Structure 1
């Protein structure tokens, strides 16, 4: 009886395996798994929100939006590239920006674009001004670099430093490209942001904010001190821009 039951189970197993419906199910599961893996990789490449918006056709027609941008750029990158060489410098960029992932997610931001040794991060304006998010990302990133000081000194001989600036305003968002699509922002806001960030060294500041950002921040419970640096004429601008320096607030030990 036992041999008969074993033979019966084997026959049923073979019949199930070679049945058209089972084979169709296997093919379906494989296609689903491959599709999910493809979507996951595309999400990592362009960002989950960008991928969703492109899929929904949200930006196929240009649309106006209020956005807040954070620009983070490596200090003395040209000198570092010459010292390290192209390959080691590219590894330095990889190691540095890999530390941005968690803090970007924690502060509900999106990475808009990597530009060599710089990165451009953005939020919808109302999201970016909440809970010091536009400042948190930069200073948390710098702290993480310091926590990995030993690694960077062993691999490259120094800990990389970065400067940053934040600005906000109205932009036009639209999908560009055919074979390779991405959502691009068009506005003088980005040009002003780049000019603002260029002032970090002349003003002796690690991070600068425009007055447009500062006037919208919730400063009651802020972890940061702001220094009014006055109106400054940025390169290529007709009118001065209000500029503020940012520094983490020092806690008084009682």
Structure 2
């Protein structure tokens, strides 16, 4: 519920602003009183929140049927659905908020149905398309990264302290031979969708999907925190909760491994015809090698000494120091720890 609190507050405020502007620039001058402005604020907030509710539906698993269509068709379906919902909410609120002169629940005035309602539906339809396009951009790039791109933050290479989590599906090559590549891709698509909520809830940002691997990143903060490793455990819990669905649909429950490392990363925009934010540096290589070393070590989660030092002291993690280890393709050894939760959390 906490993840929805900020959008609700922001959309409510935006609805208030839209209601005030609509009342000021569209409605008659004799209706620009405090009472009418308050009603317009309520109207605007309700319309904004109902539009967001429609958007939430079309981004949930229940709307998987519409995502099988091309994006243009999906945007049109979303916009039509949003216009219908907004029309219903607008008419209902018109009766409740403005029916006082005709008795609560009185008939909606004809002039509003002919003049006001079509304007609201037209504006909502156009805005829903714009919002849909903006939402797809954030899904492709990420909202924080999109904001940084607009500000030109990475036009020139910048060095930042970052935590990188590399997580991949175990045995994907064998699965591809057994299930076929298309079926395994269905599994990966479902897996990446299901773990996204755990990543977002722990403040992570998906940097990239590479084959059967997802790369998640966090900025290093001054205050120690467990979000980096708790994200992995939350993914474990999420997949465990969906184990029955995976077994029924795919005949297996996904197994995965992860490596987490922290250190300086050089971040920069790359390319011309297709711009991309790329991460460079030894930190990226070490995180990838840690993830690959999980199979050899027989552990689902390995972290570097640099990452381990960022965790709060006195936590309830089960820590198994593996000592200085020379990872494949790297001459200098690094300190590695295998982390797990106590048995009562498993």
TM over 0.5: yes
Deviation per CA, 1:53-85, whole angstroms, max 9, x where unpaired? 111111111111000000101111100111111
Asked if the contact 2:225–2:310 (Cα under 8 Å) also holds between the matched residues in 1, the reply is no
Separation in 2, partners of 1:167, 1:177: 27
Whether the 8 Å contact between 1:167 and 1:212 is mirrored in structure 2 is yes
- 1:183-223 deviation digits (Å, cap 9, x = unpaired): 21111111111111121122121110011111221132x24
Higher strand fraction: Structure 1 or Structure 2?
1
CA offset digits 1:34-64 (Å, max 9, x no partner): 3222111100111110111111111111111
Which of 208, 215, 233 is 2:309 aligned to? Answer: 215
Distance, in Å, in 1 between the alignment partners of 2:316 and 2:185 is 33
Q: What is the Cα deviation at residue 148 of structure 1?
A: 1.3
The equivalences for 1:35-46 within 5 A come to 35-46=130-141
CA–CA separation in structure 2 for the residues paired with 1:179 and 1:49? 22
- Give CA-to-partner distance per residue, 1:93-143, whole Å, 9 cap, x none: 01111121211111111000001111000000118x743111111121122
SS in 2 for 1:199: helix
Of 199, 224, 228, the residue aligned with 1:134 is 228
Root-mean-square deviation over aligned CA pairs:
2.4
Gaps (5+ residues) in structure 1? Answer: 1-8
* Aligned mates of 1:57, 1:154 — CA distance in 2: 47
Decide which moves more: 206-215 or 222-231: 222-231
129-138 or 88-97: which moved more? Answer: 129-138
Match of residue 176 from structure 1: 270
Summarize the alignment of residues 9-20 of structure 1 with structure 2, pairs less than 5 Å apart.
none
| Counterpart in the other structure of 1:167 | 261
**Cα 1:31–1:138 shift into 2, 3 Å:** same
CA drift of 1:174 comes to 0.9
Task: Say whether residues 1:202 and 2:279 are aligned partners.
Answer: no
Does 2:320 align with 1:224?
Answer: no
C-alpha distance in 2 between matches for 1:147 and 1:28: 42
- Give the structure 2 partner of residue 150 of structure 1: 244
Once residues 189 and 224 of structure 2 are traced to their aligned partners in structure 1, the CA distance between those partners, rounded to angstroms, is 29
Q: Tell me if structure 2 keeps the 8 A contact 1:46–1:182.
A: no
Give the direction of change, closer, same or farther, for the CA distance of 1:30–1:177 in structure 2 (3 Å limit). Answer: farther
> Within 1, Cα distance between the matches of 2:141 and 2:217?
14
Is structure 2 residue 189 aligned with structure 1 residue 94? Answer: yes
Of 148, 162, 174, the residue aligned with 1:67 is: 162
After TM superposition, the structure 1 stretch with the greater mean CA deviation from structure 2, 174-183 or 233-242, is: 174-183
1:241 aligns with 2:334: yes
Structure 1 equivalent of residue 207 of structure 2: 112
Cα distance in structure 2, aligned partners of 1:84 and 1:29? 45
**Cα gap change, 1:27 to 1:99, in 2 (>3 Å):** closer
Structure having the higher helix fraction is 2
- CA–CA separation in structure 1 for the residues paired with 2:128 and 2:295: 50
| Partners of 1:27 and 1:143 in 2: CA distance | 44
Structure showing greater relative contact order (alpha-carbon pairs closer than 8 Å, 6 or more residues apart):
1
Provide the rounded CA distance (Å) in 2 between the counterparts of 1:187 and 1:209. Answer: 18
| Aligned-partner SS, 1:99 | helix
Q: Which runs of 5+ in 2 are unaligned?
A: 1-109
Shift of 1:29: 6.1
Q: Distance in 1 between matches of 2:129 and 2:269?
A: 26
